[in-house]
Structure 1
Amino acid sequence: MDFNSLDISENSRVLTQLGLKYFLADPEPPKPKKTSSPSTPNDQNASFILPKNIKLKLSKLLRPAYTLWIYAGFTYDLSIEEVTDRKRLIRSIVHQVHDKLNWPQGSITFWPVFNFKNDNLAPDIQLFQYGLEQIKPIYIFCFGKDAFKTLFPDQDFEIKKFYYGSYLVQALPDFDQLLPDNRELKNLVWQTLKKYTPQ
């Protein structure tokens, strides 16, 4: 099984149940919210200053989950409404993991490892650590060298298991490397995810 040619635009219900509606769904007008979530990173900490349109979306993802998925471009993807090829690819992967591997609903969430600083993306390990402490995943799936080097600055990137403190991290190719249709890497990701299917 790979991620080729799957159209899942009709599956917004599944994505919502997975807690990924605001990141993966087609663009929709944001719903106003008068008060910020108490679980949103503290604005008084300079490292946690986030654009307002991102804070609401993050509040939907900050919850306990079986797996935490990270990649360097996540914050950028949250900041735009356009449904890009990368978003479509991630949507497809998430759907197939749920549908074909029968992962329980709510078993996947995302959290930033990069943040905007002076209009550019830069590693933000404190923001990542904040989310990690709230999400408490069993496994972390780290897609791409840039995200990996944020967690492991002194190690070489390889497609294998690492430990970040007590957390098992599975390093995987960057989502962009899977585009437009790198079937070899897609299959590598798929076979790896199969190994982590909850029993």
Structure 2
Amino acid sequence: MKVLENLPLDVLVTLVVLIFSVCLLMILALLVYLLLDRLRKRDSSQLSPIEEVHRGLKRLVEEADWLEGDRLIEAARCVAHAKEAVERAARACGRSDLNLFRSSSPLIRVLEEGLEIVGGSSAVIELRCPRCGQSQTALLQFPRVGGRPETTDNVHVSAPPDWRTEGFTVNSTCKRCNEILNKKYLYEALPV
């Protein structure tokens, strides 16, 4: 205390102003940090519309453990369409590989186990590119009598007149590397 009493008044005032300035700078730095942290949290919580759809669909798929039988079949059919739509929208927005289906839900198993039948007169098939590993799903509709398999997806179905016994071929092009994909299916082996 005696040291402070011996200091000239102008040095004492400078010392007080310096301590006050350092305290103000620390408070200002803390406020800036809190503001930036809040903005960062708000930005991470505001998802793009495609990410919101992805999150909702992923949550729906992960919570589908109770589905069985016809309900699982119908849900798998709808999710296959939704998955394709979300992936197309993500690509259009410049996003890729949203990791939409990375869980152990039975719905996922239905969609990812290669060829899985998901309906009385329809099937969801998966074509996987041997070059880049990209996969795409397609919904095939089978007529009850006569006719040929049809699809509204970006695949082409080649089927001879007796396709129910001879089988049919599904052709498509890989969206990532433009590799031509084709796979033959036997209708009799499918539980449609």
Do they fold alike, i.e. is TM over 0.5? no
Please identify the structure whose Cα radius of gyration is greater.
2
Q: Hey, which of these two has a bigger chunk of helix by percent?
A: 2
Q: Which has the higher contact order (CA 8 A, sep 6+)?
A: 1
For the aligned pair, the TM-score class normalised by the smaller chain equals: under 0.3
TM-score (norm 2): 0.24
